[in-house]
Amino acid sequence: MPAIGRTGSIIVYNKSFEQRCHEDLAKASPRQAKALLALNERLVDLLQPFRYRFLYSYKQGGSASLKAVWPAFTGRSHEGLDIADGLTASAQYLAFQRGLLDKTEQKQLFRNLKAYCGHDTLAMVDLLKVLAKHTT
């Protein structure tokens, strides 16, 4: 796994979900299983401070989901994206996997997924900054 390296923390939002993904990928790719499962030891869960309300805003509406926490602390959101949530992303990717999309639809899907994943990444960067500001 040269792209991610072999050392250092991997920041995620919802560690248990990411661990399951690595486990599923390991089952599907036995040759990569050891490397994939090793990633789980490096995961740091950005969800925890918000789930356990070490930092909380009434704007979260009681939810610790990324889609609730990010706008509560930054005013930013996934609003306006063609794919704005994980369920839609998964469903559309499944349609691709099943061969239900033509080439044009596939290209649009991957543009949309890239935008969605980019927003998720930006959200985590923003929330790390929020946590740093409130812990120093």
User: Which residues, 6+ apart, have CB-to-CB distance to 29 below 8 Å?
Assistant: 36
Question: How far is 89 from 116, CA to CA, in rounded Å?
Answer: 8
Q: Is residue 131 within 8 Å of residue 55, measured between CB atoms?
A: yes
What would the pLDDT profile of 12-43 be if each residue is shown by its tens digit? 999 999 999 999 999 999 999 999 999 999 99
State pTM to two decimals: 0.87
- Domain spans, the chain: 1-45, 57-135
Question: How far is 115 from 22, CA to CA, in rounded Å?
Answer: 22
6 beta partners: none
Model confidence band, residue 5 (pLDDT cutoffs 50, 70, 90): confident
Residue 53's alpha-carbon distances to 40, 47, 56, in angstroms, are 24, 10, 5
